[in-house]
Structure 1
């Protein structure tokens, strides 16, 4: 079973190792989707949505919302942002009955990345 919660944050960045318009400073309203995989506990929940919100706000949104992401991640592509967020949340969301399955980071309505904690390219 999967549990999903969606968040939004506004932030600016520029891609310093990229040649094109995204190398200039610009911003996005990012959509972050956090997905956990697990089984309901004795209360019938994988995790309380309130607890999930608190953890994501503490570990991610407090750092990223209205920030210049380059101060957190040197080359803040959607891919690198998703990997960073996954690593920030993974341990905090580990429970006996569930764990973090994936995060989605959307820069626009049509451009996003899904990261599941593994690197598949060699």
Structure 2
């Protein structure tokens, strides 16, 4: 399934002040033959919606930024909250990245000099 089919039939709408960034990567172009797990892609798109200028986002903000239907965003945010990837401010009902999301980033950049398993050695 193509990434552009991850969204609702309405065109993708970005927040008024949103700037295109590397955060759009999970919804990059993939050939039709590349199978992807749509819920996983949507969950990653939600995590990537958070950035320097958008540390705290509400459900509707995320839905508008990603193009994912609001009810789906709500269900996925609940899962991400239970798993510790996002946190919620009870007063504003907005979400932000939580320590588990940071752990993924740290793991990705840890010891970049070490070759990946199976990588050719010089």
Q: Normalising to structure 2: TM-score of the pair? A: 0.35
Q: Which one has the bigger helix percentage?
A: 2
Q: Which one has the bigger strand percentage?
A: 1
The structure with the larger Rg is 2
- Determine which structure has greater relative contact order: mean sequence separation of CA pairs < 8 Å that are 6+ residues apart, divided by chain length: 1
